[in-house]
Structure formats: C-alpha cells, structure tokens
Amino acid sequence: MRAVRILSDKLVLNHAEIVELVIWQVPSPVPPSEHDFKYRLVYVRDGKRVVGYDNERGKGDHKHVMGEESTYAFTTIAQLLDDFEADVLAIRGEPI
C-alpha cells in the first residue's frame, strides 16, 4: 500500500490568518507513533505558527501552541481535528 492523502485543505480566514490541514494514511506508522497516519495541521497568524499539530519522525505525536511544544495523545482523526480546532478557538476567540 502506498500513502494515501485523506485530507488536504487550506483555508484563508482573512488577510492575516491561514489554516492548513494535511493528513495521510500511511502503510506503516511513522516512528515512534503507533497509528497509520501522518499529519500536519497548522494555524498561522501574521506569518507565524500559532498552533501546530504533527507527528514528525523521531518525535511522534506532538503539538505546538503559542511557541510551547508538548506531546499529543493521538486517538482518532476526528478527535485530532476537534482538539486542533479547540486550541485555535481558544486563541482566536471564534471558530475556524
């Protein structure tokens, strides 16, 4: 099986804000993640990443919120999207 892109969306919210969501289903986990997805979700304001979720090889599932990096406990794609949107909402004050 080859990697299959299951979501690719870029939203320009206004002149200063962008949200980009990219999720791939991969043939095997990206170490040290234990699930079959590779993802990159980002909220950018004024050219700077404000919220980002990804699972980079060697680091596993983690998120960046206002410059702070922390681990992320991935469960499902739906929960990933909900958690990302909740972090963006908390900063932005309105939904994506």
Share of the chain above pLDDT 70, in %: 100
The pLDDT value recorded for residue 96 is 85
The pLDDT value recorded for residue 91 is 94
Confidence of residue 61 (pLDDT cuts 50, 70, 90): very high
Mean pLDDT of 23-50: 95
The pLDDT value recorded for residue 1 is 74
Could you give phi then psi for residue 83, rounded to 5 degrees? Answer: -65, -40
CA distance 26 to 46: 32
- Distance between first and last Cα of the chain: 33
Token pair 């080859």 is found at 2
